[in-house]
Amino acid sequence: MAGSLESAHQRISLTGFAVAGDPISNGLIQSFAKPGGRLTGVCYLTVDLTPKRLEILNEILPKLRKVVAFYNPKNPISTEAAKLGRDAAQQMKIQFIERPVTSVDELRSVLQKLKPGETDAYFYVSDAMIMDNVQTIIHTTLEKKLPTMFTEQSLVAAGGLASYGQNFHEVGRISAKYVKKVLTGTRPQELPVEQPREYELVINLKTAKQIGVTIPQSVIYQADKVIR
């Protein structure tokens, strides 16, 4: 029995994934419908939602004119997200201030040097290094009374102003379905890669009050979760 369980867990580790971004361009699969090889799983959106996040931030802050974004220029996912943000900002007549950083020390230095009036808000661009240090960003932007837009509701619960992104409860539910199928013998090449379609807008009114921002009622009505 123990050997059987170990074999099942090995199958899961070799065949399942839950990834952000495009698994085709990353070389994980051949296509969503027919993954090929030994991999399949769940693919959720982060980069692709960048323009929508900026649009929502613009609704939250009707006088928005400038946003600042930090990202590692050596990370291709981050540079793609930055380009999407830049293009969306141009269409909305918003200045997209880019602050490339390649180390944690650079990030902290750039954060501390932000001056009043330099930007109207901080806009998160998908980046692993930034995410690893996001609590520092939240702490500093709260001190500087700077509105923030993130990708995950956990970051809003930690003090961010707003987020728009994937519903990770749905990601977990779908991932569990894949685990069950693989454990019961289904081959990964028989399982199309699935993309969850539930997104959620989360607003933190406590943070809004702390930084002196009034969230329009129209945005609050749209929110899937409001932290009061």
What pLDDT, on the 0 to 100 scale, is given for residue 5?
Answer: 38
Specify whether 140 is located in the same domain as 178: no
Q: What is the pLDDT of residues 130-154, one digit of tens each?
A: 999 999 999 999 999 999 999 999 9
Averaged over 64-88, what is the pLDDT? 95
> Within this chain, do residues 28 and 75 fall inside the same structural domain, yes or no?
no
Count structural domains, the chain.
2
Q: Same structural domain for residues 40 and 143?
A: no
Q: Quick one: pLDDT at residue 170?
A: 65
Residue 68 vs residue 190, higher pLDDT: 68
Of 37 and 155, the structure prediction assigns the larger pLDDT to 155
Alpha helices in the chain (DSSP H): 2-15, 50-60, 76-91, 104-113, 128-132, 134-143, 153-157, 168-183, 205-211, 217-222
- 55 lies in the same domain as 111: yes
Are residue 127 and residue 207 in the same domain, yes or no?
yes
Over the stretch 38-48, which tens digit does the pLDDT of each residue have? 666 666 667 88
Tokens for 75, please give them. 């990370």
Residue 10 clears pLDDT 60, i.e. is over it:
no
* Rounded distance between C-alpha atoms, residue 11 and residue 211, angstroms: 49
Residues 220 and 108 grouped into a single domain:
yes
> How far is CA 111 from its chain centroid?
20
Write down the pLDDT at residue 81: 93
pLDDT value for 197: 73
Q: What is the mean pLDDT of residues 2-21?
A: 43
CA 50 to chain centre: 8
Range of the domain at 34: 2-45+167-197
Same domain, 101 and 156: yes
Quick one: pLDDT at residue 94? 98
Residues 66 and 156 in one domain: yes
Do 143 and 216 fall within a single domain?
yes
Q: Is the pLDDT of residue 64 over 70?
A: yes
Same domain? 10 vs 54: no
CATH of the domain at 34: 3.40.50.2300
User: Are 91 and 16 found together in one domain?
Assistant: no
Average pLDDT, the chain: 84
Q: What is the pLDDT of residue 2?
A: 38
89 with 173, same domain? no
Spatial separation of the C-alpha atoms in residues 217 and 225, rounded to whole Å: 14
CB 50 within 8 A of CB 158: no
